[in-house]
Chain A
């Protein structure tokens, strides 16, 4: 079971600043350990929903850093809106976490 994400969603005016940390090795398949190649293992797709509507999606490669960090901004959000983020990796593992938009400055 993959470790949970850390999601922060803060309102700035009516824009939700959404920042996410994901626990994932993002193995390139090029790294060697003890003389053996560590197989590629990396997140391929990410989707984010705000109150059930897709607001962000990404297809990514193994060149994204280990323990990935992403941030994006969604207009028309309000405090209490539900943010759900899902990632899927090349080994078929996935993880979904959620948070609510926090009122900010």
Chain B
């Protein structure tokens, strides 16, 4: 039962993605992806397959975060035809953090601030011309002040 439902969801998501990538991938808030407890499961629910490593995605985030509750992350994609940027915080309880969509005319750039529960890679997946590309950057989260 569980298996069937899951397979169905995956298929649905993959189908949706395949059909809508050039227009709007965000047909509906993807519950299955957001509730996935691993990055791999979330990416599967989003129909991303295995994205190719890319050097054309820039992630600007601190090496050491001053406070894990508010980590500034700036992402720029230099891949032509970029339509969306998705963010995964690998070690968070729910890694999938969001997808940002850029209709033509909007630059493939986003600034956001996220909660990081612990030291973790921040992974970015870019959708461009129907294909997926990825890179990641490790952000260290430490104890800040007196701890009391």
Contacts and interface: CB of A to CB of B under 8 A. Distances in A.
B39 interface: no
Given A59-B30, A63-B94, A63-B114, A73 B109 contact: yes
Interface string A36-63: 0000000011000000011111111111
Interface size grouping (class) on chain A: 20 to 34
Contact of B70 (A57, A60, A65, A75): A65
B57 interface: no
B69 A58 contact: no
Interface stretch (B12-20, B95-103, B123-131): B95-103
Interface in B60-113: 69-71, 89, 92-94, 96-103, 105-107, 109-113
26 contacts: A30-B93, A45-B26, A54-B103, A55-B106, A56-B100, A56-B101, A56-B103, A58-B98, A58-B99, A59-B30, A59-B99, A61-B34, A61-B94, A61-B96, A62-B94, A63-B97, A63-B114, A64-B98, A64-B112, A65-B69, A68-B112, A69-B112, A69-B113, A72-B102, A73-B106, A76-B105
